[in-house]
Structure 1
């Protein structure tokens, strides 16, 4: 088998002093010494073991707390503590009982460890009564499905919990956790999800190792790409097992993302329970249905689209650049039959004033105004997400029959009040197709996936600038509407248990439908999936069953079931708590209302720990704090964006109508303005002063000339994005935009591109038209660009 491993693209370079082991400080060593992740990927499922090693460097007993992420769809099924040659298996209990067992063990002088879920992708491990000089190892076992779309499966493993915006009024009383943020009325457990953050540039405090063993399981594996880390390949030739290992010295500051190019197929797999599983008397099992979507065809109905763009402080840097580009591409995909609104938000919500208060027709002029508004946005403020979601729901509530209602949210998702948002906005978004675009190297994938699932939409994650174009191709097709809706499942000869089938959703281009559930009785038969195509025609697919083995399917179904129940709980169905606990305990899968606890029978001290430490976490890659944290760790970071020159003058847009005296084709101090033609579908001409635009961009370019190579690379990429949007009718500026897109490629000659940009902008700023023979420059309509 021949497999290509695509080299690391992007700019995530390990610190030169990384890999030094435990970090010594004036207060002693940090407790987490190493983290080891081993994944066995078989087909589209991964079995993962996470090993955390804690060491006590203090002269008294220690309790160590570590807040860490796991994949949001992973099912945690095992927990083990190892110390002083003894192994203690963890037991899954109701969360209150597990905490009581843990606290009692510590008070009695015994070692103990507890694992709890704070969010679908945020977990806490506490290890207590670690004696001086001792190492304690904690092992977690989990099963994880691989996301699959457009011919690629993605194994994503998060490595850091990013700081989250915590709204609300602080609560009185003792905080619920040891984090840096106070609990609030909006986020009552804020202190449990806000670990302290290490000062940027600190030596690497944790030894990280990560290995992925790949077994295509009969699928045609063609290519492997690691987008944020450098990996080393071992084996894979002549039938030998293929392993990918993380390069030594990498830090816990961004997600690990591995993309596997392989082919999926329609299937129905039945996995009977093993003897002793569960409490059912009759034979039961789990089924997993995968349906590859049909080819795109038919007529798409008109849409009402609301685009929400997060411009809060955590979006500063490359994320804001990528988010602006993504939002502009989404606006560009709209047609004259659509209506839309653009809302940017931080602590306030803003809209392009030219588009009015409601949904505006997606004419060429309105799309141009929206893109111009997006191009001026910089990061600032806090992430107040609830208010813009409610405003979007109000706008989409005015949709007429026969129109698709679509909400697209572009954000990093770093908020702490996920439950409040789902409760207050979830019901109002029913009937709205919600698509989320997560932009970050440590994205809050759990929350964005839950929000998209409420609206039967899709969640697309963008972890680097290099991934943006590919991600936007996916998003364009998703917001174009599903291929098949109103899906229903009909069993033939298979005893599907009622109320166990996970959400059916809709069939989107390039995205296989995956549904799981429970059955009773003989393993056999078939399943028929029925629905309606976009043009209202009936659609049907019959899939015969195949009996397979393994334990992952059962655990993954239980995790998906628990997620559905927890989402309903967050939406206000609080009587579901008992069912959530019972499902968790029966199938042995951790959830928010249960916890794994491991208690050693041996007494190692005279009482509870004499010292308690919460492990600081890395500042996520690409994040820039506005002020330096404390010497070891910081409270939740606030972010500000540097003020830049106003962009309105550069783009020179003016209202429709005849040009005022002294403008238009007359050359003056700011030279030539050209009118971009409307589409003939109601869009009026829009004036753009390309000379003023070039002069403004030239000033910005020269001001940024002294920046670092990374900053100059980002400046050129951002310039290319702005020119691509607003200069399609100017041949030289359009050509320059195409050239500057190469700035993001590895090995790009930044000095040459910088000189080229300065040369072209200076020439255009001098007043010479790009092509006098073409009234609009290149003549290519900006609303039709790809």
Structure 2
């Protein structure tokens, strides 16, 4: 926890944050004036980041080298708060000073902090890397006592699993964006807060090269960033290299999508234990990593459930006004979420129940409780959705979650929760723990919207809620990913999952992964286990996952060799240790009486495996000979990219320094915040002989202020545009800067057609449908075959248009089309063949009747 004393000593962080980092509308002149300096004209010692990525099948090893140089005439302490994947296992940290290499050790966090403090007090160089107590996807790196003119290279290594995407690609993300995390009212100040700048002001460069290898050919690698051509290293194309193109701007998360041929093959990798580790310990014994891809019967996959309670939870905090992509022509996060809710509501099955919650500093719900899905309730909900804006302030996600869980479940209607958020919350672990507590009563599907969404939050919600996580970044469209999750939600829930092992005599197994709670068609399930005992290298074992699906027992089995794989190093052990550490950390938060005992287990496992945890830190001290570094240290906070630079305006907000609470006498980091309109006060405290002052401010939930660039030195303009919609719903009209009506912007033709569908699945024959099809009412009426019902004709026309002109978006409309086909079958529609022929002639298409499912 950050103590008030330390917050006072670091007003430089706050000055940098408020004067540069909260400027969503930074003018080009401001950017040019700042250059590579902070607002106090203080140099940033981090010069470049070099990333080497090695991908083997679905596991990635990432080595980042951070190059520092102190160009000042006094020693500095550089503090860098940055994001990592939430499920990463950080396993190596070292520093190189000239020819001296210092490898860090993992120690209990408080012990590591004290050693770091003692080293700096003694004039030694020291390096500290620690994980945030609140969220495992944020780390703080302190580089202490870097003498004038000296350079240092910091090497950071972690391993992580790659998530499987809807199109079978494996997703690797190198987080670059770290948006400020909202602290709920009444909560403790986060131990890690963020110093951020606009992307164009990031004063260090990034380079990335990747090597990909697999037992199966690498078919392609795609990215949201510009890449050099893929280079194959062998004739069978199982090894390849790729790198970011020169001149890459560090303005977004770097995402790679890696595609293998026949990727969905179950595998098992056995990794030998370390010879130096004690036998019987996790690191001393072999560990097996099993990847399973369940295959469900086609009879189950061809049908969708007609029951369920679907609860949609939408983030309406101020940051949802940000653009979904880097293009100014693209939709905002909130407008894309509204379009997605339209598709979801049209795709729900008749007979289900639903409700829509939205939240910011407070929360709202459309209905007092979930209602049955009908034409009337669907229309009422859509009307409210069209009025939704990102105007509810901060990100108080706990309040609506608690209210949802307080509502009794509807008998025979399994609850499915869909959470849409940009993931900028500070109390990640508290939110994930709440979802886990209620995991037996629902499934949770989560969606991280935009750059900088917390992977720890989004993945944690889905993992503990037995659902599926999706990230919408770059040029991704939200709708296809969300509709894939809806298809998962409409699949029967897998129950009674069990894992059994069949191993040779003398070999026993200890599960390291938590019990499997969710299985989805084609989605990977990972299992880690420790193998104890002796067996011949030729011995084989098997693992079987049994479960019940739609009332029928099913199972998937995998046979594997116990012979350890070559060249895996300790990757599997570290991933297994990370998995066990995360489980124990959650257990520690649940068991109050046994907290100390569980924490001790985490620390021991973390130290033994060399993998980071929330209770440990990496510490490296340069104990080589040399003169002690003299003089007060200047603190330099390294900024990260923020795509939404107003933190979470419209809510009480505390901004604090990033490093652990430490006081080492005069540090030279002084400065006052410019006073902003709103509630504010000053704090003062005597620290040694130096007086530190800090102005702390917060903003009321109704005042979504934005700080504009300085008009002149020391002058600020405070406006209130965030909560004010600049465009009307569904692109009807927009307002220019004077508030006058601007020209209408065209609505997405697909959404226009979808918006006309009835809850039952049919369309009505009316002028609106004709316009959506690009025809006149007379043309549509004249083409209708005799004796055909108007609604049947309209529905067949809509289906032909979808299949004829929107096949590239089939994932988005497939479910609502299935509902339309079911409606037509229930009507015993006449002259279907004639209708299809007439529809093709009218629309200029050539869709076959069978393709429509009729």
TM-score interval, smaller chain: 0.7 to 0.9
Aligned residue number for residue 744 of structure 1: none
- Find out whether 1:35 has 2:76 as its counterpart: no
Equivalent residue for 1:48?
62
Q: Please name the residue that 2:74 is paired with.
A: 60
Aligned residues of 2:409 and 2:415 also touching (Cα < 8 A):
no
Q: Which residue of 2 aligns with 1:343?
A: 357
| Residues 429 and 489 of structure 1, relative CA distance in 2, 3 Å threshold | closer
517 and 20 in structure 1: CA distance in 2 versus 1, 3 angstrom threshold: farther
Q: Deviations over 1:214-260 (max 9, x none)?
A: 11x2223223211x211112522763852221123333332211112
Provide the residue aligned with 1:193 in structure 2: 192
Distance of 1:257 and 1:440 partners within structure 2 = 12
Which of 415, 418, 423 in structure 1 is aligned with 2:428?
A: 418
Superposition deviation, residue 211 in structure 1: 1.3
Q: Is the 8 A contact 2:208 2:244 kept in 1?
A: yes
How far apart are residue 770 of structure 1 and its match? 8.8
**1:431: Cα distance to partner?**
3.0
2:232 matched residue in structure 1: 236
**Pairwise CA distance, 1:18:** 11
Change (3 A) 1:622 1:361: farther
- 5 Å-filtered alignment, 1:376-775, equals 376-380=387-391, 381-395=393-407, 397-400=408-411, 402-424=412-434, 426-481=436-491, 484-493=494-503, 495-498=507-510, 500-522=512-534, 524-546=539-561, 547=563, 548-549=565-566, 550=568, 551-573=570-592, 574-575=595-596, 576-602=598-624, 603-606=626-629, 609-620=632-643, 627-628=706-707, 640-643=722-725, 697=732, 716=746, 721=751, 724-726=754-756, 729=764
Q: Secondary structure at the match of 2:228?
A: strand
| Pairwise CA RMSD | 3.7
Superposition map of 1:264-275 within 5 A: 264-275=264-275
More displaced 10-residue stretch of structure 1: 446-455 or 730-739: 730-739
Q: State the secondary structure of the residue aligned to 2:462.
A: helix
* CA offset digits 1:611-650 (Å, max 9, x no partner): 011112222279898624677999xx99823335775xx9
Find the aligned partners of 2:645 and 2:492 in 1 and give their Cα distance: 34
Q: What's the CA shift for 1:604?
A: 4.6
Q: CA deviation at 1:31?
A: 1.9
The answer to whether residue 92 in structure 2 is matched with residue 78 in structure 1 is yes
Residue deviations 1:675-709, cap 9 Å, x none?
xxxxxxxxxxxxxxxxxxxxx925769999999xx
Q: Is 1:284 the counterpart of 2:298 in the alignment?
A: no
Q: Please tell me whether the aligned partners of residues 353 and 413 of structure 2 are also in contact (alpha carbons under 8 angstroms).
A: no
- 2:343·2:754 contact (CA, 8 Å) conserved in 1? no
What is the 5 A alignment of 1:327-342?
327-342=341-356
Match of 1:193, SS state, is: coil
> Is residue 316–residue 639 contact of structure 1 (8 Å, CA) maintained in 2?
no
Task: Quote the Cα distance in structure 1 between the aligned partners of 2:31 and 2:520.
Answer: 43
Distance 2:100 2:545 in 1: 54
- Which residue does the alignment assign to 2:37? 24
1:271 to partner: Cα distance: 1.6
Query: After alignment, is 402-411 or 280-289 more displaced?
Result: 280-289
* 772-781 or 413-422, which deviates more: 772-781
Q: In the alignment, which residue of structure 2 is the partner of 1:174?
A: none
Structure 1 residue 94 displacement after superposition: 0.9
Change (3 A) 1:234 1:489: closer
Counterpart of 2:163 (choices 147, 151, 154) is 147
Distance 1:149 1:330 in 2: 20
Shift of 1:149: 4.2
Identify the match of residue 164 of structure 1 among 181, 184, 190: 181
Displacement after TM superposition at 1:390 (Å) = 0.8
Of 250, 253, 260, 1:252 maps to: 250
Query: Is the 8 Å Cα contact of residues 497 and 548 (structure 2) preserved in structure 1?
Result: no
Q: Is 2:337 aligned against 1:307?
A: no
Shift of 1:337: 2.8
The 3-state SS of whatever aligns with 1:213 is strand
Deviations 1:314-357 (A, max 9, x none): 111321122223333333332123211111111222222xxx42
Query: Is 1:214 matched with 2:212?
Result: yes
Query: Compared with structure 1, are the counterparts of its residues 386 and 129 closer, same or farther at alpha carbon in structure 2 (3 Å cutoff)?
Result: same
Q: Distance in 1 between matches of 2:310 and 2:209?
A: 42
CA displacement, residues 284-342 of structure 1 (integer Å, 9 cap, x when unaligned): 21111122111353364721221111111111132112222333333333212321111
Give the Cα–Cα distance (whole angstroms) in 1 for the partners of residues 275 and 233 of structure 2.
39
Counterpart in the other structure of 2:378 = 367
Give the Cα separation in 2 of the matches to 1:312 and 1:116. Answer: 29
Are 2:782 and 1:784 equivalent residues in the alignment?
no
What is the distance in 2 between the residues matched to 1:533 and 1:326?
32
Residues in 2 aligned to 1:729 and 1:208: alpha-carbon distance in whole angstroms: 55
Structure-2 change in CA distance of 1:771 and 1:344 (3 Å) = farther
- Partner secondary structure for residue 447 of structure 1: helix
What is the rounded CA distance, in whole Å, between the counterparts of 1:639 and 1:564 in structure 2? 43
Q: Take 2:160 and 2:769, find their aligned partners in 1: how far apart are those partners?
A: 45
C-alpha distance after superposition, 1:421-473 (max 9, x if no partner): 23455424433211111111221111121122112111111114534244134
- Cα distance change of structure 1 residues 615 and 699 upon mapping to structure 2, 3 Å threshold: closer
Alignment length (residue pairs) = 666
User: 8 Å contact 1:316–1:640 — kept in the other structure?
Assistant: yes
Give a deviation string over 1:87-138, Cα, whole Å, max 9, x none.
1011111111111111111111011101101122110100000011221111
Shift in Å, 1:771: 5.1
1:125 lines up with 2:137 in the alignment:
no
Q: How far does residue 62 in structure 1 lie from its aligned partner after superposition?
A: 0.2
Deviation of residue 416 (structure 1)? 0.5
Instruction: State the alpha-carbon separation in 2 of the partners of residues 543 and 608 from structure 1.
Output: 63
Give the structure 1 partner of residue 804 of structure 2: none
Contact 1:152 1:261 (C-alpha < 8 Å) held by counterparts = yes
The alpha-carbon distance between structure 1 residues 557 and 730, as it changes in their structure 2 partners (threshold 3 A), is farther
SS across alignment from 1:434: strand
TM-score, normalising length from structure 2? 0.71
Query: How many Å separate the matches in 2 of 1:41 and 1:557?
Result: 17
Secondary structure at the aligned position of 1:232 is classed as coil
Question: Is the 2:319–2:644 Cα contact (8 Å) retained in structure 1?
Answer: no
Equivalent position SS for 1:27: coil
> Which blocks of at least 5 consecutive residues in structure 2 are unaligned?
1-27, 323-331, 650-704, 758-762, 785-789, 800-812, 819-854
The 3 A distance-change label for structure 1 pair 312 and 726 is: farther
8 Å Cα contact 1:69-1:123 kept in structure 2: yes
Counterpart position of 1:297? 299
1: CA distance between counterparts of 2:509 and 2:721? 50
Q: Tell me: CA distance 1:424–1:145, structure 2 relative to 1, closer, same or farther (3 Å).
A: closer
Structure 1 residues 237 and 586, CA gap change in structure 2 (3 angstroms): closer
Contact 2:176 2:641 (C-alpha < 8 Å) held by counterparts:
no
Q: Which runs of 5+ in 1 are unaligned?
A: 1-14, 170-185, 651-695, 740-759
**Counterpart-to-counterpart distance in 2, 1:373 and 1:521:** 62
